[in-house]
Amino acid sequence: MKYYIITFGCQMNKANSERIASILESKGYQPASKINEADLVVVNMCSVRQSAVDRVYGLAPKFKKLKEKNSKLKTILTGCILKEDKKKFRKIFDSIWNMRNYFDISPKCQSKSLAFVPISNGCNNFCSYCVVPFTRGPLTCRDHQEILKEVKDLVERGYKEIWLLGQNVNSYGVQRETDAKQKTKQTRKINFPKLLKMVNDIPGDFSIRFTSPHPADFTDELIDTMAKCKKVAHYLNLPVQSGDNEILKKMNRSYTIEQYKNLVKKIRKKIPDINLSTDVIVGFPGETKKQFENTVKLFKEIKFNMAYIAKYSPRPGTAAFKLKDNVALDEKKRRYKVLNDLLENLKRPAI
């Protein structure tokens, strides 16, 4: 019996697919090199953008053809799935798996040198455009001993690059309350900087990266730890999402652009050769041309090494879904191009 996994979306999903592969192989399945050789197809989906959801719907005719050739073929859907989409997906897939509990499974890493290690799952932040708190649930953190054991094992098996993953990776052990005051409270003895230091102290020749941190949880302790730990790569994706304070507020991002710039300044002071990338959304509901220009201004000031630019896509169930998606698609495309061209024109070293 053979399996084939299709993965959409982020590194977290890739990490989960490696864990799914491990589960299937423990049950006697072998990997298929092509989808038409498989007896079991698993789709690990992402709901962050409607286009990604549409691609999963688009698999229906393919599955129909495959089932005509192989009547025993089973299809499974997992990953980030919105409640609203689940009913429709039940008509396409034979079953739907809840992806919350892949943590304890050792992964079957696809790469010989790069391994993804989830340290937390879910998020309590409820950024107004984001489905993660709905699809993955509240933040849950893995026990640090379990994480260290997994990294040690991967390093002993020769892995050279370890990525620590979480939707809000630096909230490990510390949670920001979602009330108006955005208080923080320590929920574990080990917070993210301490965990990073412990991973760094594992003997062996390897490097460490992590993604994605939230600017509001990026502490001085974390900057110092990054600067001091020799195995931590001088690489950082620090999602800004917008260069305008009003839009950030509407996004429920809990920092101002001044705080973000100050954070970048502190990071660059301690780690001058940091490779800095960001995530940004253009065309958020109500984003005026003037507000978008503040994002352009930020890009010119910060000179990111790289940026992942997304055109806003309304997601059912989120707070922003109730707002009018009133920036026309052509205008979103224009704003995307402006930022993309700006990135191209800045002389930056490649990541």
* C-alpha torsion 27→31→34→38, nearest 10: -10
Q: What are phi and psi of 244, to 5 degrees?
A: -120, 130
Which alpha helices (DSSP H) does the chain contain, by range? Answer: 11-26, 50-57, 60-69, 83-90, 132-135, 144-156, 192-200, 220-228, 245-250, 257-270, 289-302, 329-345
Map residues 240-279 to x or -, x wherever contact with ligand SF4 holds by CB under 6 A: ----------------------------------------
Residue (77 or 127) nearer to ligand SF4, CB = 127
HSE at residue 166, side-chain half, CA atoms within 13 A, is: 24
User: Using an 8 Å Cβ cutoff, are 315 and 272 in contact?
Assistant: no
Task: Supply 86's token pair.
Answer: 């689940």
Residue (166 or 193) nearer to ligand SF4, CB = 166
Q: How far is the CB of 214 from ligand SF4 (least distance, A)?
A: 5
Q: Is 214 in the site for ligand SF4 (CB under 6 A)?
A: yes
HSE at residue 12, side-chain half, CA atoms within 13 A, is: 26
Q: How far is the CB of 75 from ligand SF4 (least distance, A)?
A: 27
Q: How far is the CB of 92 from ligand SF4 (least distance, A)?
A: 26
**Positions in 114-173 near ligand SF4 (CB under 6 A):** 123, 125-127, 130, 132-133, 167-168
Q: How far is the CB of 74 from ligand SF4 (least distance, A)?
A: 31
Residue (121 or 200) nearer to ligand SF4, CB = 121
Q: How far is the CB of 225 from ligand SF4 (least distance, A)?
A: 21
**Positions in 52-91 near ligand SF4 (CB under 6 A):** none
Residue (208 or 251) nearer to ligand SF4, CB = 251
**Positions in 28-57 near ligand SF4 (CB under 6 A):** none
In whole angstroms, give the CA distance from residue 327 to residue 159: 45
Q: Is 174 in the site for ligand SF4 (CB under 6 A)?
A: no
Q: Which amino acid is at 349?
A: P
**Positions in 226-245 near ligand SF4 (CB under 6 A):** none
Residue (26 or 182) nearer to ligand SF4, CB = 182
Q: How far is the CB of 138 from ligand SF4 (least distance, A)?
A: 10
Residue (130 or 274) nearer to ligand SF4, CB = 130
- Strands 184-186 and 207-211, sheet pairing: unpaired
Q: Is 310 in the site for ligand SF4 (CB under 6 A)?
A: no
Residue (150 or 217) nearer to ligand SF4, CB = 217
Q: How far is CA 297 from CA 136, 244, 300, 303, 304, in A?
A: 34, 10, 5, 10, 12
Task: Supply 345's token pair.
Answer: 């024109």
Best CA proximity match to 126, nearest among 213, 212, 250: 250
Q: How far is the CB of 321 from ligand SF4 (least distance, A)?
A: 14
Q: How far is the CB of 173 from ligand SF4 (least distance, A)?
A: 16
Residue (84 or 153) nearer to ligand SF4, CB = 84
Task: Supply 153's token pair.
Answer: 């094992």
Total number of residues that touch ligand SF4 (CB under 6 A)? 10
- Residue 126 DSSP one-character state: -
Q: Footprint of ligand SF4 on this chain (CB under 6 A)?
A: 123, 125-127, 130, 132-133, 167-168, 214
